[in-house]
Structure 1
Amino acid sequence: MPDKLLPTLPDDDANFLQRFQPSRLVLPVLLGLAVVGFLFYRSYRPGDLAPLAHADWRWLLVALLVLAARDLGYVYRIRHIAEAELTYRQALDVIMIWEFASCVLPSGQGGTGAAPFILEKEGIPLGRGLAYIMVTALLDNIYYVLMVPLVVLVAGAGLYPHEALQTGFVATLRVAFGVSYVFVTLYAGLMLYAIFVNPRSVRRLLVRLFSVKLLRRWRRKAYKHGQEMVTASVQLRGNGARYWWHAAVSTAFVWTARYAIIGCLIAAFVPMSAGTFLFIFARNITYKVILLIAITPGGAGIAEGAFPTFFGSFIGTATMTSFMVLLYRVVTYYLYLLLGSIFLPRWVARVFIKRPAKAATV
């Protein structure tokens, strides 16, 4: 996107687009590729990549279909949650820009922080947009809360990589996983209560909690978040069972597809049973904890570095594992950097440029 367009836009718009300048892509791409290059350099042995010649291309096709189904599921979900205020074209743009934002912003922020602004530029008022984003966050959290007990049941102690049992990594991961689960459960419960029971009491609770000296610096943000819950409650309470059922099913669909990608890719090169596939699916949930706490854009470097620890034992040689790291990041990260780079200029031209010009002629 040309820099010369930025000065012609309002400050909020310019600041938003500034975060997606091409120069911002250089660091995460170089960081991720540097880690993959180091993994290949350290692990390469002649003949280790022989399984590539015997790949089961049907599984690669399944992986691409799962990826496409996931994105179409996201498009359907955001359009349904937004009560059909978006066309399918708009919903596709929203999801692609959202995914792009998740790739170029730190994992802690992700695309969720940018999503209300994206929806506002599509003509959805900020209050309603915040309500819709809160629905996606609530349903995402509920999926996580419900799935964790199931994957613990499936994987048991194998939920954590045995390869690192002799280090402090697994102990740290168990603590992080437990803390994240408790936090997400409490947060999901708080959101449910705030949206459907008494949002104003939750707002007061947040303000009082963040009035404590150690937390006082975040009090204003806590009040703002509480106010967002009040707004969401007003917007969403009238929606019937059909609305929530479709939103919940589409959420389960997209997240299940998201967690299944790694298993599909590995199955293309390593024969596996259904039990092993489910085991990889379960371990993927603990792998995502690493990405949630990553401070780099899109988890670049950290995702690549942690992958062999979690999934190397299912793949075989270290060289094949390094190849799988690259393949996984290509289809789940670099692909969306590319798609975002294609969708973003067109989206900017549609919502920032053409719309004002049309309004001026009215």
Structure 2
Amino acid sequence: MSRHWWILAAALTGAVLIPLLLGGSGLFGRLRSFPLDLLALMLGMIVLGWYLNAQRLRLLVGRRTLAQRRAIGIVMATEFAICATPGGAGGPLTLMALLMRHGVPPSKGTATYAVEQLSDLLFFICALVGVLIFALTHAMNAYIASLLGITTALLIGVVVVLALLGRFHRQVFLLNGWLVGRLGVKQRRKRRWARKMIRFRNALLDCFRLPRRVLLGVFALTTLHWLLRYSVLYLTLRGLGSELAWAWTFIVQLLALTAGQFSLLPGGAGSADLASAALLTPLVGKSTTAAAILIWRFVTYYFYLIVGAPVFVHLAGRTLFRLLRTRQG
């Protein structure tokens, strides 16, 4: 077992221990009383999200390139790789490799992943604007106001960085070339990587030149997917008897999952759970927070690993599995 898989196992263990220690002896009673029909509904929402993301992928690469069933498998395998690798680094590699089997060039596959991420970012910006409007029309305490301020500053920072990269991408390419030259990289390898970067840039521009109705369809599917995904914690708290506005659960999830990404642990296991515990406890109390974290993470993380693993192995095969393990190990 490589070092990466030991890290994943340790992170998953820590992720389970956090709510167990927080909830105490009353945790299992709260879990047993949770409505099973609501749990089934939330799992169905995740499956529907896979279907929507598969439709989005087909719009970006061409409906004739991928059948819907195959696209769903690619989405599930990619989501598994994101959840099982540090910082989600295995996601773009998996998507690129699986799309190559359907005749999609690596540069196009990587550009497709980038467009999906930018579409996700656009949704979060729009959702945050909606949350800010909600906050202006509803009473909120100082704690929620501080969370809202942190979230706003975080998204503004990301947008500024991306805007600077887009504006000065030529200078960034030149700087990267200078740095790899200083590191002693051979001229042949430098030219090969330069060609790959140029192909990626051109493929990204081609994606943005798609018909407007296609790009609007991509964003509409992105919006529906994330609305489903970010409603899981809200429904979980409702099932546990706690009334918390959807807007505040959105802020908690966004900050917790961002902390998980920054930790570089697989799927943010442990770090996202710890952050969500710290953010949610002042709002709903310890016992409710502990039960909510276990249910929320099961639906939005463990379920991805359990269902996605056999799909990943079936589609990606042992070769890509060994490649991912080598890259992350």
TM > 0.5 fold call: yes
The whole-number CA distance in structure 1 between the counterparts of 2:54 and 2:215 is: 16
**1:182 alignment counterpart:** 157
Q: What one-letter code is carried by the residue in structure 2 that aligns with 1:99?
A: E
Deviation at 1:325, TM superposition (A): 1.8
Any idea what SS the aligned residue of 2:266 has? coil
Unaligned runs of 5+ in 1: 1-20, 194-201, 353-362
**2:122 alignment counterpart:** 142
The whole-number CA distance in structure 2 between the counterparts of 1:125 and 1:159 is: 51
With CA pairs under 8 Å and 6+ residues apart, which has the higher RCO, 1 or 2? Answer: 2
**1:297 alignment counterpart:** 266
Give the TM-score taking structure 2 as reference length.
Answer: 0.78
Within-5 A mapping of 1:341-352? 341-348=309-316
**What CA deviation, in whole Å up to 9, does each residue of 1:96-143 have, x standing for no partner?**
111111111112625134322231133322232233223212212222
1:206 counterpart (172, 175, 180)? 172
Deviation at 1:74, TM superposition (A): 0.9
2:210 counterpart (209, 231, 239)? 239
Deviation at 1:76, TM superposition (A): 1.2
1:288 counterpart (257, 274, 283)? 257
Q: What one-letter code is carried by the residue in structure 2 that aligns with 1:332?
A: T
| CA distance 1:73–1:106, change in 2 (3 Å) | same
Query: Where is the helix percentage greater, Structure 1 or Structure 2?
Result: 2
8 Å CA contact retained: 2:100, 2:106: yes
The whole-number CA distance in structure 1 between the counterparts of 2:313 and 2:180 is: 43
Say whether residues 1:325 and 2:293 are aligned partners: yes
**What CA deviation, in whole Å up to 9, does each residue of 1:21-46 have, x standing for no partner?**
8985453233222343254235414x
Say whether residues 1:112 and 2:78 are aligned partners: no
**2:110 alignment counterpart:** 130
**What CA deviation, in whole Å up to 9, does each residue of 1:181-206 have, x standing for no partner?**
32235416855x7xxxxxxxx54232
8 Å CA contact retained: 1:312, 1:321: yes
| CA distance 1:160–1:307, change in 2 (3 Å) | farther
Aligned length: 310
**2:201 alignment counterpart:** 229
**1:257 alignment counterpart:** 228
Deviation at 1:296, TM superposition (A): 0.8
Say whether residues 1:279 and 2:248 are aligned partners: yes
Deviation at 1:95, TM superposition (A): 0.6
8 Å CA contact retained: 2:52, 2:225: yes
8 Å CA contact retained: 2:14, 2:269: no
Superposed CA RMSD? 3.8
The whole-number CA distance in structure 1 between the counterparts of 2:86 and 2:220 is: 28
Deviation at 1:225, TM superposition (A): 4.3
Unaligned runs of 5+ in 2: 321-329
Any idea what SS the aligned residue of 1:321 has? helix
**1:71 alignment counterpart:** 50
Bigger drift between 29-38 and 65-74 goes to 29-38
Any idea what SS the aligned residue of 2:92 has? coil
**What CA deviation, in whole Å up to 9, does each residue of 1:249-270 have, x standing for no partner?**
0111112222211111111112
